[in-house]
Structure 1
Amino acid sequence: MTGGILAIHHVQVTVPADRMAAALHFYGHTLGLAEIPQPARDRPEPGAWYRVGAAELHLRPDTTAAGDAAASRRHVAFAVADLDRLESALAAAGSEFLPDARPVPGQRRLFVRDPGGNRVELMEQP
């Protein structure tokens, strides 16, 4: 297993801004997910984070134009053992790397697009 994918760390789900209240009710009340605190850097943003077993679900409003998958914040995040090794393998495969628009101090991570254009986050775990 190149790069040592360990687990899904989190999945970010986006919904139209005008449906956010309904989505918060669905995930928090209907499904009964336990809301967890968001990091201070994310608190001004609307939405919620939930614990799902060992993983997290991040719920945010989609502020992109309809159908603009390239600009969407939707993504899956994998916890990895060796980010450098995985980055080399992705580069060799010709993967499209994306800038980290919101670096997290002390967290090594990178973003790529999968062949379908979906954003994938890879986070190195200590």
Structure 2
Amino acid sequence: MLVAVDHVQLAAPVGSEDLLRAFYVDVLGMTEIPKPPALAARGGCWFRAGPVELHLGIEKDFRPARKAHPGLRVTDIAVCAARLDARGAPVRWDAGVPGRHRFHSCDPVGNRLEFLV
């Protein structure tokens, strides 16, 4: 039945698109992809890196996801952590899952993100 996750949707506050672009493109190295015209009028941004798509949608009464999060696999976790840390994003290492090397961080609007190998 299910074969893959097509995308993950996260919420963001009104007017945060430039912050999101700076983080997802400049820090994480994703590419912004155009939203369909009917959806573009709602604001927000969509990003892709390889098969990974993150959609950031605007919510008027935004509250960041502090527990729910996407788990993003990276090629070099130490380089990823250093890059986030150098740009002021929090890096919290977590050894709670045996056999997984991972940490959590937040995007500039406070959404929780997990990075792992």
Band of TM-score, shorter chain? 0.3 to 0.5
**Between Structure 1 and Structure 2, which shows a larger proportion of strand residues?**
1
- Name the larger-Rg structure: 1
Q: TM-score, normalised by structure 2?
A: 0.46
